[in-house]
Amino acid sequence: MEKNTKIIFDKNTVEFVTVAAEFCGFLERAPQISRRSFVDKSLKLLPLLYLKASLLPQGERMDEFDPELFVTEGDYQRICGGIAALLGEKDDYLEVFLDDMAYSDTPIKQNISEGLADIYQPLKDFVCVYQLGFEQTMNDALVICREQFAEFWGQRLVNVMRALHTVKYAAGAEDEEDEYSNATLHGDEEFDENDLYEGLEAGEDDGFGDRWE
């Protein structure tokens, strides 16, 4: 057991948990953030999240039962709906990197909001398990999250990044009037990678331990 649980205290694991917690808290605050700031910060957080996930140590399951799940369908819809309302007409994009493309000759319409919610769900479940502090379930949650990254949400992440890049840099995008441009809440503040590593026990309200009511 000691060998297996060492991965939950690995430096790369701790950094991943920190970034994952920041990402979840950021999406939960989406309705309070301007569209421009949301897109800008997403394009900073997503590649960092991908990098940290790709560095996670490999481990083995210790229990035959899956860890508890925290995100409900209502939670998923709340995250998805909040982002969709923020992005408006910019939420839709065409995607070719989908399993369904095997049966289609044309790109399939996707939503940035749904892609981000698909990433949020496994990460929030993972972060909430980590907050409980039980080493065996922490280990299994980490192993599952790493597997899900390889099989599902890692691809969602890179797909959404491409769509967000288009929103930010498409011709005329900078000249469009941002209806939320006067927002000055926490989500509009500049940050860098060092801000994410101030410590998991620093008491930052970034959605790390928050559970939906």
Structure letter (DSSP) for residue 179: T
Q: What is the sign, positive or negative, of the torsion defined by CA atoms of 199, 202, 205, 207?
A: positive
Predicted pLDDT at 176? 56
Predicted pLDDT at 165? 96
Determine the Cα–Cα distance for residues 49 and 93; give it in Å rounded to an integer: 22
Predicted pLDDT at 96? 62
Burial (CB count within 10 angstroms: exposed 0-12, middle 13-18, buried 19+), residue 170: exposed
3-class SS at 60? coil
Structure tokens at 160: 């959404």
3-class SS at 101? helix
pLDDT tens across 90-138, in order?
999 987 655 554 455 556 789 999 999 999 999 999 999 999 999 999 9
Determine the Cα–Cα distance for residues 119 and 116; give it in Å rounded to an integer: 5
Global pTM reads 0.79
C-alpha torsion 158→50→48→162, nearest 10: 0
Predicted pLDDT at 170? 81
Q: Extract the residue ranges of the chain whose pLDDT is less than 70.
A: 1-5, 96-107, 171-213
- Are 32 and 187 in contact by the 8 Å Cβ rule? The answer is yes
Structure tokens at 97: 């990197």
Predicted pLDDT at 184? 36
Predicted pLDDT at 95? 73
- Are 48 and 192 in contact by the 8 Å Cβ rule? The answer is no
- Are 63 and 136 in contact by the 8 Å Cβ rule? The answer is yes
Predicted pLDDT at 109? 87
3-class SS at 157? helix
- Which domains are present in the chain? 2-59+69-192 (1.20.120.1550)
Number of neighbouring beta carbons within 10 Å of residue 203: 10
Structure tokens at 87: 């992005």
